[in-house]
Structure 1
Amino acid sequence: MAQIKVYGLAEKLNPIKVDLSHIIHTSVSEVLQLPPEKRFHRFFPLDKTDFYYPNDRTENYLIIEISIFEGRSKETKKELIHKLIKDINQNLNISVNDIEITIFETPKSNWGIRGFPGDELTLNYKVEV
């Protein structure tokens, strides 16, 4: 399971949402080995008055938050971060300085999915990658 939130300025984020979702989904599916149907993305286009960021970022600045079950190795999480930054930079021409990613890991028992705590579900994919 991976729930993903993306924050950015509305005027910059809205035009790229479809392409960005595709990049994120491809990266998460490949690196975390999630099934293709597991796409859970939410976009938060913000008005300039609601999104403050440092002077060394541009209007293309993106914040990507990824919530996942705990269990992935440190190397896997780093690989995901590297792949996302590289692919977003290359495909959307967004500077690596304008891309920030945070991965939040929680125990499966902290998730409620399809009427059950996550640790009571039978998954069709492996978490320990």
Structure 2
Amino acid sequence: MDRGLAYLQALEDPPEFSRRRAAVALIASVGIILAASLMVRLYPTSGFTAGYDAVIDRGGDWVRAQVDGDGGTALGVCDRLHREYEQTPIEPNYDYGTFVQGCSEAVDFLNGSPVPLLAAPGSQPD
């Protein structure tokens, strides 16, 4: 009976503060934050929204001029925007495929009609 009472008493009493516990908690917290930030930077995140927003922010006139300059395709525009985003240190590492997919949809939207990513085989730009 005394063991049960001592156990209940131990559960009710909060543990005493110790610098060692505080240091371990602080080191663990910093380690978790560093590991998470490293994972965010090294592993690509979905870039669909970023690709879409990057094109929308530039505007329709810019998009039409870039598409016309690339022979009527959207891939050159999306490649340039992806490179710009990847060179800024504050932006996460966006997955290329999803970034281009979002970019392509925004180009279609601003152009008012579908724009192919690549030129059809055998076609020559004007």
Q: TM-score range by the shorter chain?
A: under 0.3
Q: Which has the higher helix share?
A: 2
TM-score, length-scaled by structure 1: 0.27
Larger gyration radius, structure 1 or structure 2: 2
Q: Which has the higher strand share?
A: 1
